[in-house]
Each structure stands twice: as structure tokens, then as C-alpha cells.
Chain A
Amino acid sequence: MTFSFPNGSSGLYLALAATLIVGFLAMFAMMSMPARWRRPVVATCTFLAGAIYVAYYLWPKPQAFGPRDIPQNFSESVGSYLADSVNVAGTISTALTTFLLGLGIYSLVRIHGRKLLRMQKDWGFSLVLLISMVAIVIFGYWSYWQTKFGPDAVKLQLSSNWTWVNYTNDFLFDGLLQQMESAMFSIIAFYILSAAYRAFRIRSVEATILLASALIMMLSLMGAVEFIWNSHLPATGFAANFQITEIARWIRDTLQTPGIRALDFGIGLGALAMGLRLWLSLERGGVSA
């Protein structure tokens, strides 16, 4: 059984339209529903969606099951049905998120639009934000339409044939947005320096251990230091353990890796317990209110 449709088929467009209608109907139904009914409805939907994932995890998975394979028995039928259902459950969650993006944009426009209209402090930044947002949406879709569906779609695959719309979109996205994001990313280098300076100041035993191990790790990565340090030590025997690369490896493998794995166990258990509480709607207050 399949829940997917070939690209460009009428079934796909029908499914998209149905998703849109069902999505709006579901939102409208939830909003107009009495508050006391909302919780059981949400709990039931959460349980059903989660149950698909749980069943998928527990049910034996048919080996090498291709998209066109016909299940040979009940177990394979259930296994392949669950594999398809998991994708659908994931897609529903993506569709819901897409609906919510509209609310996010509304929030941005409301806050910055009001700031602009009332000429509040720093209204200029709000103006830039709104103009940028509208510009990149217009040129993004315009350029996409031209290169995918427009009369010169094939010709426009080559950048030498681009129109001013494609160039503007490229300038806005690659020329401005990507460059500004790279600039933000590069700032981290300086922040690492200032944070490391504070962290490595010797104030306690823990800070001293941190400083010493960090120093060894950094020195072990410097070719010149590694060469000078290791050249004074034999390559084999007990003394070889004191080569800087060996000390660094020991810190990494014996201290750091087990520490991180222990943290990972804790995080995994916490996530599992949290998932269980959410799936069975056991929590009260906060998100589950």
C-alpha cells in the first residue's frame, strides 16, 4: 500500500488541495471547540500518531522490502503498512508546521508594522526588515516561477541567460543574506576567545584542570610543538606514553569520550521519559495544559 503520488500527477494536486482544506477545517474545528473537549481530542491524536511510531519500532521489519513489492503474509503486510504510515505521520507534522509559519510571519509584521506606524525608537530597522522580507518573497517566487514554469524555463537553467529578476534574487539571497550570515558566524571566533579567557582563568581546582587539559589538547595540534616534544621521547616503551599526542589521545579517549557517553545516556533517558509522558498525555500544566 502506498500513500505517495508521482510528481506532477493529478492525484498529487488533489492530495495537496485536500490537505489544505482538511488543515483549515481542523484548525477551525479546534478553535471553535469547547475548551474541555480540546484536551481529550489532542490526547487522542497524540496517542494515535505516537502509536504508529511505537508499532513501527516493535513490529518486525520485512527485509529489503522495495516500494513495489507485494507483501507475502500478514506480518509483511503490517510491516510495510507501518513503514508507509510513519512517512504519512511525519508529513502531517510538516504540513502543520507550514500552517504555523504563517502565524510567525504575522507576528513579525504586527510587531514591526506597529513600530513603523507609531515611529517608535529604531523604526528604521523595522522598515528595512519589512522591505527586505517583501522583496525577497517577491523576487524569490518570481525567479522560481521563471526558471521552473516560465516560457524560457529551459533557457534560464544557464546563468548566462538570466533575466534581471534572477540576478536580483541571486543578489538578495547569495549576495546579501548568505554574506551577512557568514559575518555573524565569523563573530563566534572572537566570542570563543573572550569566553575562553574567562573560563581558563585559574580560580579553582576545576578551572586549573580545565586549563591544563585544554593546553595539552591545543599544543598537541600544533605541528612544531608536537615535533619538538615528541623528538625528546622514544617511539616505543613506557616513556612513549608521555608523547604529547599520546597524552592528548588518552585525555580524549579515556576522559572525554566516556564523559560524553554518560551525558548522552542521561539525555536519552530523559527524552524517552518525556516522550512517554507526552505520548500518554500524563503531564499537567505547561505545554499539556
Chain B
Amino acid sequence: MQYYDTGWFGVAFTMVIVVFVLLNIFRAGKNTNLFIRRIPGLTALDEAIGRATEMGKPVLMVPGIGDLNAISVQALNIFAYVTKTAARFANPIRLCCGNAAVYTVGQEIIRDVYQSEGLMDRYDQDSVQFLSDRQFAFAASVSGLILRERTAATFFLGEFFAESLIFAESANAIGAIQVAGSTQNTQTPFFIAACDYVLIADEFYAASAYLTRQPVLVGSLIGQDWSKIMVMLTVVLGVCTYSMERNQNLDFKKDKGVWISAPTHKKTDDETFINNLFNPDKPDPLLHKRPQRPPLPGEGGN
């Protein structure tokens, strides 16, 4: 065989998750009365905006310093909801971006929100700002903006790294109410230490379903929950199978992908079924080398 064994189990597992998500999106389209548990960090969004309105101070939103990817897109989706609420109360907003692509998409979203609410007269073109794509230059800019404008509510949602604590502590210093959430597990403890409400791990992805109750999003969330149950069952099953197997005796071993006779021994980690399921054998070197085309000009040989 001259192909990498990509691991059929991993592909099959992913396919099952995809089916779960799509199936539940389909289900949610028919039944809109599906339950989502309360997430404190998200119920705090309205409270934070309300406080900013009372104080007449801006709401600050930062979608992290990551590229335009699923994380920043999700952050912008949440910010669209925040902006919608803030726009109704005529509350100023600041969306600070550290990536030009996120800035462009963010600007479009914020304008669309004001337009769909029929409040274009309240839309400030400068409310969405590109500050810098250098990590600490961005940190300094956001920190300065927090201290100068004394934002009443701050939302740090997205991909954050070392700058997370600079933002959170600057906002804490001026007494702003803070809601934060990062998919970077290394930064979540900093947010927990410094912020009022934190969205932990997949709560961040559950946010738009919780806030908008769109059937597609709710269905997707339930599909994720089904997948989590499947993962948990796999973990329990794997632990039991692995523990049993490690106590079994074996009188043969695998050598270069072939089972051969060997002295009786307890099964090693490499010989367990569950290990082989998740760690496929590495392929042998190519049996027959492929013919090669001549090098292109400037390409060099090998």
C-alpha cells in the first residue's frame, strides 16, 4: 500500500459528528421549542450594555488578534448582537481590530446592524477601528483607548494571547464591567482572575445560539451536545478496554506491521486495540519509487 493510513476511525468519527450537527439543524427547523441551559456570561451582556447606557460611556468590543477565522467570525456574530442592543439605546460603541480582514468584515457587520435596525443616523464610521497588527502595539492602543474613553462595558471575545491580561486589568482599573471569552485555554485563567463574567471553552460557540435562538444555531448546538455524549462514551469505553487489555497476556508481537511469535508478556501500550485505533501504523518505505518529471527552469534537482 503506497498511501498514508489516515486512520479510518478518525474520519468515521468526524463524519458521525457532522451527521449529528446536520441532523439536529434539520430537526430544529421543525421544532423551535428546544432547550438551551442558561449561560451566566451571556445573560450579563444586556446588563453590561444597560450599565454603559446609564453611565453614558461607550461599549468596547475586541475580537482578539487572530486572523479572520471561525473564532473571530463567532466573536463578530456576538458583537452584532451587542451592537444591536447598544444601537437601540443610542449607546456609542468601539470595535477595535488587530487584523485588517477582521476590521473590514467587522465594519460591514456593524453598518448592517445599524441599517437593519433603521438607525443609520446613529452609526459612527469611526466606531470600528483598525489599530495595529502588532501584538503589543495593539495592546497599548486598546489599553490607551480604555483609559482615555473610560469605557463602561468591555467585551473581549476571540483569540487572545499574552495581551489578554493587559486589556482585562486596564478595564478593571477603571471599573468597567467585563465579559470575556477565549478559545485559548492558556488565557482563560487570566480572564477568570480579572473579568466579571467569562465564557469558558465551547460556551463561546454556544453564544450566538443562546442570544438569537435561530433554529440553525440551536440545532447545531444540540448536535454538539450529542457529539459530546459520544466523545464521553468513547472515553469511558476506551478506559475500560485499555485497562482490561493491559492485563491480558500475549505470546506474539508486531514487527514492522506483521505479527510474529514472542515470549509471553503482558500487552504493552502499543499492542492495545484502543491505541492502534487512534494511532495507525506508520507505513513502510515506498516499495517502488515513482518516476520523476524533469526539473523546471530554476527549480533545481534532487
Contact = CB atoms under 8 A, between A and B. Distances in A.
A6 B101 contact: no
B298 A60 contact: no
B275 interface: no
Contact of A264 (B130, B185, B205): B185
Interface residues of B, number: 90
Contacts of A265: 228, 231
Contact of A108 (B3, B130, B205): B130
B302 to A, nearest CB: 7
B3 A283 contact: no
B49 interface: no
A64 B71 CA distance: 33
Interface in A194-234: 194-196, 198-199
Interface in B95-139: 97, 99-101, 103-105, 109, 112, 116, 126, 128-131, 133-137, 139
B224 A285 contact: no
Interface centre among A75, A111, A198, A286 (most CB of B within 10 A): A286
Interface stretch (B54-62, B213-221, B243-251, B256-264): B213-221
A263 B201 contact: yes
B165 A285 contact: no
Interface stretch (B17-25, B33-41, B85-93, B266-274): B17-25
A187 to B, nearest CB: 6
Contacts of B162: 185, 188
Nearest to A186: B136
B62 to A, nearest CB: 15
B136 A181 contact: yes
A269 B202 contact: yes
Interface stretch (A66-74, A161-169, A246-254): A66-74
A286 B74 CA distance: 9
A34 to B, nearest CB: 16
A159 interface: no
A155 to B, nearest CB: 26
A235 interface: no
A22 interface: no
B44 interface: no
Contacts of B185: 260, 263-264, 267
A271 B3 contact: no
Contacts of A199: 192-194
A289 B190 contact: no
Interface stretch (A13-21, A94-102, A143-151): A94-102
Given A62-B3, A199-B192, A274-B73, A286 B109 contact: yes
Contacts of A237: none
Contacts, number: 221
Given A61-B6, A287-B105, A69 B290 contact: yes
B103 A286 contact: no
A91 to B, nearest CB: 14
A284 interface: yes
Nearest to B68: A97
Nearest to B137: A181
A124 interface: no
Nearest to B1: A63
Nearest to B167: A191
B224 A269 contact: yes
Contacts of A57: 11
A81 to B, nearest CB: 15
Given A6-B299, A188-B166, A271 B227 contact: no
A255 interface: no
Contacts of A264: 185, 201
Contacts of B294: 68
A270 B204 contact: yes
A61 B297 CA distance: 28
B298 A7 contact: yes
Given A266-B201, A274-B73, A276-B18, A282 B25 contact: yes
B165 A66 contact: no
A174 B24 CA distance: 54
Interface in B271-302: 283, 285-286, 290-299, 302
Interface of B: 1-4, 6, 11, 14, 17-18, 21-22, 25, 67-68, 70-71, 73-74, 76-77, 80-81, 97, 99-101, 103-105, 109, 112, 116, 126, 128-131, 133-137, 139-140, 148, 162, 165-166, 168-169, 172, 183, 185, 188, 190, 192-194, 200-202, 204-206, 208, 212, 214, 216-217, 220-221, 223-224, 227-228, 231, 283, 285-286, 290-299, 302
25 contacts: A6-B299, A72-B290, A105-B130, A107-B129, A108-B131, A180-B137, A181-B137, A187-B166, A195-B172, A198-B193, A199-B194, A262-B201, A266-B202, A266-B224, A269-B17, A269-B224, A271-B70, A273-B220, A273-B221, A283-B217, A285-B212, A286-B73, A286-B77, A287-B73, A289-B112
Given A191-B168, A198-B193, A267-B204, 8 more contacts: A9-B298, A61-B6, A111-B129, A188-B162, A191-B169, A195-B190, A285-B214, A286-B81
